[in-house]
């Protein structure tokens, strides 16, 4: 039996075929995105590695106010609340690594050092992380749809890239210990008529799910990874704050918020004298350090920890403590 298709039936068949072809092309494109070959060559290899989280002790980090307003086009710009949301997003990523304690800039030690231990800050150390948008670009990569002669049905493919500059500064000396750039990219497939960002009326939710927000999210992941990898090269240091007159326990100015846990063994060191740069007047070193004893953490508060003396005596406020050598 022969079946003859009229024009309406033919249109339905063509539509079904187009849908199948679009789905298959979209799946292939998504698979290509997942391939390592799609990774941008400008991303440093180290920044693309998994974030290490095996270091329990957390480094104090403060975020410089990022300049996110450069992330804009002719049709939209970032509202202030979205810029604040991006800053909070970076703080969350650093905290989630397990190696950073994000604190306010005012809580960081001043350049040249301070005579007063600051509650909640790990000893004399501290780092400032500054990020800025270097470039933002979106390029069309063609159409993944199907040409049906008079009608072309399908999805548009765009690549969005956000490049951030990164600078890590030692809060005590003011010296930059690392700097560079990272680039996050996102390849999107969407209908030409799909809604996009317009004006300044969108919120953080709309931005975070947009191609621009997803590209930025990848760049922030790379920032967090690079910060952790650099800080883990720095010594973790805290300070003796006092010695309890009743129990004799040594109290240090870092608690569980800084990753200090009961059982942690620390060496207590005393610097001979601070070294001051004659040109800048800033402290550039704590001088030669002499071991004066060893302590073991017995209990912790949020901003302080109490330790039993393992060996040594005559501990003084502002003696340095660091994880004991294995």
Q: What is the pLDDT along the chain (326 residues), one digit of tens a residue?
A: 444 545 554 444 444 444 444 444 443 444 444 333 333 333 333 333 333 333 478 998 999 877 788 888 888 888 889 999 999 999 999 999 989 989 887 766 543 334 443 433 444 468 999 999 988 888 875 555 545 444 444 556 788 999 999 999 988 778 899 999 999 999 987 655 556 788 878 889 999 998 899 999 999 999 999 999 999 898 888 999 999 999 999 999 999 988 999 999 999 999 877 788 899 888 777 778 889 999 999 999 998 999 999 999 999 998 989 999 86
Task: Measure the CA–CA gap between 155 and 244, rounded to whole angstroms.
Answer: 69
Domains of the chain: 7-231 (3.40.50), 238-323 (2.40.10.410)
Q: Which of 195, 188, 191 is nearest to 153 (CA)?
A: 191
Give the DSSP per-residue string, 95-127.
HHTTSEEE--GGGSPPTT--SSPPTTS-TT--E
Q: Which residues of 39-64 are buried (b: 16+ CB within 10 A; e: fewer)?
A: eeeebeeebbeebeeebebbbbbbbe
Cut 0.95: pTM above it = no
Task: Measure the CA–CA gap between 116 and 128, rounded to whole angstroms.
Answer: 20
CB proximity list for 231: less than 8 A, separation 6 or greater: 59, 61, 99, 100, 127, 168
Whole-angstrom CA distances from 40 to 27, 48, 70, 134, 298 are: 21, 11, 21, 16, 48
Task: Measure the CA–CA gap between 172 and 74, rounded to whole angstroms.
Answer: 41
Task: Measure the CA–CA gap between 186 and 123, rounded to whole angstroms.
Answer: 40
Residue 3 in contact with residue 13, Cβ under 8 Å?
no
Residue 51 DSSP one-character state:
P
Among all chains, which residue has been given the structure tokens 């049905």?
Answer: 153
246 phi and psi angles, rounded to 5 deg: -85, -45
Task: Measure the CA–CA gap between 252 and 170, rounded to whole angstroms.
Answer: 21
CB proximity list for 170: less than 8 A, separation 6 or greater: 125, 126, 127, 176, 177
């Amino acid at each position: 039996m022969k079946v003859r298709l009229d024009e309406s039936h033919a249109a339905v068949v063509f539509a079904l075929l187009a849908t199948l072809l679009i789905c298959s092309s979209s799946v292939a494109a998504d698979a290509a995105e997942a391939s390592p070959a799609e990774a941008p060559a400008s991303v440093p290899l180290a920044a693309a590695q998994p974030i290490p989280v095996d270091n329990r002790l957390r480094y104090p980090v403060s975020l410089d106010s990022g300049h996110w307003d450069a992330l804009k086009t002719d049709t939209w710009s970032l509202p202030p609340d979205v810029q604040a949301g991006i800053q909070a997003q970076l703080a969350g990523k650093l905290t989630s690594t397990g190696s950073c304690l994000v604190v306010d800039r005012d809580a960081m030690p001043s350049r040249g050092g301070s005579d007063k231990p600051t509650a909640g800050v790990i000893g004399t150390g501290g780092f400032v992380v500054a990020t800025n948008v270097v470039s933002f670009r979106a390029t069309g990569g063609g159409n993944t749809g199907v040409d049906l002669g008079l009608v072309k049905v399908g999805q548009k493919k765009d690549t969005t890239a956000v490049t951030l500059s990164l600078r890590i500064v030692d809060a005590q000396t003011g010296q930059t210990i690392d700097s560079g750039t990272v680039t996050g990219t996102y390849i999107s497939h969407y209908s030409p008529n799909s809604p996009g960002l317009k004006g300044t009326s969108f919120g953080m939710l709309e931005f975070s799910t947009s191609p621009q927000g997803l590209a930025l999210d990848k760049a922030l992941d790379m920032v967090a990874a690079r910060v952790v990898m650099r800080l883990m090269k720095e010594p973790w240091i805290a300070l003796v704050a006092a010695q309890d007159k009743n129990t004799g326990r040594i109290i240090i100015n870092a608690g569980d918020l800084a990753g200090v846990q009961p059982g942690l063994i620390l060496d207590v060191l005393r610097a001979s004298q601070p070294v001051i740069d004659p040109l800048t007047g800033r402290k550039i070193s704590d001088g030669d350090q002499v071991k004066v004893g060893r302590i073991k953490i017995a209990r912790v508060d949020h901003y302080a920890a109490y330790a039993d003396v393992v060996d040594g005596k005559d501990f003084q406020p502002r003696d340095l403590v660091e994880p004991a050598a294995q």
